Amino acid sequence: MPDSQEHSPPQHVAIIMDGNGRWAEARGRSRSEGHLAGAEPVRTILKAAHRQKVRYLTLYAFSTENWARSKEEVENLFSLLVRYLDSETAELLTSGVRLRGVGDTGRLPEATRAALAQAEELTAGNTELTLSLALSYGSRAELTQAARNLAQEAQKGLIDPSAVTEEDFARRLWTGILPEVDLLIRTGGDQRISNFLLWHLAYAELYFTDTLWPDFGEEDFLLALNDFQGRRRRFGRA
């Protein structure tokens, strides 16, 4: 990537939206109420990203590890997602946003899969901003299935194992159509990746903030973009 990129906005922003549970706990409310409060910043940040000419916004909404949470919390999260899709799809459609679900989406409840498929289909022709929702997503599972696919294709004689390139591998990821992440934001105070986008984060700039996701607003997002634009990305060069 040329140095001239230094002051331009990030093309691909990924966000680990963390802290809903703590936000709710601090108010004596249930974790699910925290998730409900977390829907508002999704709307705000999507609009802000659009205005800032971000082309890809990828949001970590549910990890493969999150399946270990209580049945109640998981069910509430997915019904919230269905409500979000029902209420937002029309606006996504008119505002040029393409929505996609990425992850082991076959594991999602039927109603969630149906709502997702409908939103994906309706917005498939939009090209201004691609909003990817990482759902039942885990990088290790994703990398493993890509390796499995390649091995099966090699076994069938469809590909030559010694000629497999990075691009061939990337194409087999659930997130295959996404470019590299330029900026990763994690809210909620923890400084870790939690099995998110390991492949695409190889040269991402990392930005951590203590702000809990339900409190994360446009100003916080602009601060992160501003911080990114002040950084010098070297990509290994001297």
Q: Which residues bind Mg ion (CB under 5 A)?
A: 18
Tell how far CA 35 is from the center of its chain: 16
Q: Which of residues 67-86 bind ligand IPE (CB under 6 A)?
A: 77
Binding mask 148-187 for ligand IPE (x = CB under 6 A): ----------------------------------------
Q: Which two tokens stand for residue 196?
A: 């998110």
Of the candidates 13, 14, 17, 102, which one interacts with ligand IPE according to CB under 6 A?
17
Cα–Cα distance measured from residue 48 to residue 185, given in angstroms and rounded to the nearest whole number: 14
- In terms of Cβ atoms closer than 10 Å to its own Cβ (0-12, 13-18, 19+), residue 85 is buried
Partner that binds at residue 131, options Mg ion, ligand IPE, none, CB closer than 5 to 8 Å by kind: none
Which two three-digit tokens encode residue 142? 């994703």
Count of Cβ atoms closer than 10 Å to residue 134 Cβ: 27
Question: Which tokens is 218 given?
Answer: 């446009």
Q: Binding to ligand IPE by residue 30, rule CB under 6 A?
A: no
Q: Which position among 3, 20, 66, 215 bears the catalytic label? A: 66
Active site residues: 18, 66
**Which residues contact ligand IPE (rule: CB under 6 A)?**
16-22, 31, 60-63, 65-66, 77, 188, 190, 192, 194
